[in-house]
Amino acid sequence: MNHAVAFLDIDTQVDFMRPEGSLYVPGAESIIPNLRRLMDCVIESGLPVLSSADAHLPDDPSFSRWPPHCVVGTPGQRRIPETQLASALVVPNAPGAFIPPAPPAAQTVIEKAGYDITGNPNFDAVMDCMAPERLVAFGVATEYCVRASVLALLGRGIAIDLVADAIRGISEAASRNALEELIRAGARLVTTADVIAELCGAKVPSQRS
């Protein structure tokens, strides 16, 4: 089913979001209340959410730069409960893993090995099915996967609303530079309250226990 607007949840996984995670983004847990509000807005509005997920093998070459993280099948690779919906459709980072038309899903999880969600070879097929004109983006880390994914999507002509109080970066200076770059590229900064007021009404009752 096509929607003019969809949500984009970037890498809100345990290894990034929780202090015990192997590649913890400092202060990431501070945005979890807003992440929950946004995901409750997903449920309330009936709009879909596209979620990116790091999915590495144990010998991933990126581990020469970063500590091992989000290794497939480990607890750290899972999404935090606040951004995991029931019956999510997971699209592995392998050719032919998504064959359209797929059953509609409230949450589609796109696995990736790099910074950019569009690197999954099934990404175009998923987007052809969803066909959003605008994405409401949030997650981590601002100067890495958020930056790379948003730039790639803007380059494809998709409008991006970036939820400023629902993203977090590793370096304050690098995050600020990334935000400035994304704004120059055409992203529009919004707040969680802005999103809820537009798409879900002023209040979003919690839909999950």
The two tokens of residue 206 are 């919690």
What is residue 99's predicted lDDT score, i.e. its pLDDT?
87
Query: Cβ distance 125 to 98 under 8 Å?
Result: yes
| Phi and psi at residue 148, to the nearest 5° | -65, -45
Cis amide bond preceding 141, omega within 30: yes
Rounded Cα distance, 160 and 170, in Å: 22
What value does the mean pLDDT take over residues 149-174? Answer: 97
pLDDT interval class at 83 (50, 70, 90) = very high
Rounded Cα distance, 5 and 35, in Å: 17
- DSSP string covering 1-65, please? ---SEEEEEE--BHHHHSTTSTT--TTGGGGHHHHHHHHHHHHHHT--EEEEEE-B-TT-GGGGT
Q: Which domains does the chain have, with CATH numbers?
A: 5-199 (3.40.50.850)
What value does the mean pLDDT take over residues 95-119? Answer: 92
Query: Cβ distance 139 to 7 under 8 Å?
Result: no
- How high does pLDDT run on average in the chain? 94
Query: Cβ distance 192 to 38 under 8 Å?
Result: yes
What is residue 209's predicted lDDT score, i.e. its pLDDT?
45
Rounded Cα distance, 183 and 181, in Å: 5
- Exposure string of 85-104, with b = 16+ CB inside 10 Å and e = fewer, is beebbebbbeeebbeeeeee
HSE, side-chain direction, 13 A CA sphere, residue 115:
15
pLDDT interval class at 196 (50, 70, 90) = very high
pLDDT interval class at 180 (50, 70, 90) = very high
What is residue 208's predicted lDDT score, i.e. its pLDDT?
53
What value does the mean pLDDT take over residues 94-102? Answer: 89
Q: Could you tell me what percent of the chain has a pLDDT over 90?
A: 89
- Rounded to 5, what percent of the chain is helix, strand, coil? 40, 20, 40
Rounded Cα distance, 135 and 83, in Å: 16
